[in-house]
Amino acid sequence: MPIDPNIALGAELPSGEFAWTPSEVQLYHLGLGAGGRWTDPAELRYVDDRAPQVLPTFATVAPTFHDTEPPKVQFPGIDIDLAKVVHGHQEIEVHRPIPAAGKATITRRITELWDKGSAAVVVQEHTITGSDGEPLWTARSSIFAKGEGGFGGERGPSTKAELPDRAPDFDVTTPTLPQQALLYRMCGDRNPLHSDPEFARAAGFPNPILHGLCTYGIVCKTATDTVLDSDASRVTGFRARFAGVLYPGETIRTRIWRTDGELIISATVADRADAPVLADVSLRFT
């Protein structure tokens, strides 16, 4: 059985140490398309050589930035074929602005395991502590594993956030590059779903798709640039549910509703009649 809930649920995963420098931060931001406004001082803060500002979504790649092998979905009580897995949701809570360079320790555990019948949902929580012993960020994410349900677990919650019943305060389009996935994979996500046409077709897609976490970072940057004057230090949290696919070269439409301390966001594919790509998107800020 690929999933044994008695072993998997609550399992502590291997901890570890990692470090990053301004070069990794710059490359991550370039992987999101930073630098398009190449003479804008606010834009150039993302790629400063010595002290680039850091989007909180950098947290999704920092611990695995230098990985060169495709990821494996193998945990205590869980062994799933990578081709069956898609990202379910991602949430980052930053406890203080992420520095441009640093060292940290990561601890990980499986916090939730849901049986959807035709699929399984596995939720992880990562806690990152800086070299000074103080918390830096907490990351929570889920994966959706097709065909891996039926192990006898609870179905779990089914929640959907409603968008405000009014016109958005901001409506922005952001083009992606045809080579966007090939750039972004240099940040440590070498899943062949995003680079190998044959692998993508075997997984049910006509072509490689853009990393969900790349779209996630692009939308966070778009909202930060549009509403927060490109000041990444004001972002305290960002979450989204992965609702559809984006192909490299397509354009993201980001609609933003501003409320007190929070941005409610919808991200769709402008090229395909606003097909959903990210849903239940929330950016918290100061």
Q: Which residues are catalytic?
A: 189, 194
Q: Are 275 and 268 in contact (CB under 8 A)?
A: yes
Please report the DSSP string for 235-260 in residue order.
Answer: EEEEEEEE-S---TT-EEEEEEEEET
3-state secondary structure 69-123: CCCCEEECCEEECHHHEEEEEEEEEECCCCCCCEEEEEEEEEEEEEECCCEEEEE
Task: Give the integer Cα–Cα distance in Å for 270 and 245.
Answer: 12
Residue 259 burial (10 A CB sphere; 0-12, 13-18, 19+): exposed
Task: Give the integer Cα–Cα distance in Å for 174 and 272.
Answer: 14
In the 8-state DSSP scheme, what is residue 188? S
| Tokens read off for 130 | 């800086």
Task: Give the integer Cα–Cα distance in Å for 272 and 201.
Answer: 20
Q: What does R_g of the chain's alpha carbons equal in angstroms?
A: 18
Of 100, 89, 128, the residue nearest 29 (C-alpha): 100
DSSP bridge pairs for 219: none
Task: Give the integer Cα–Cα distance in Å for 178 and 181.
Answer: 8
Location of structure tokens 């193998």: 74
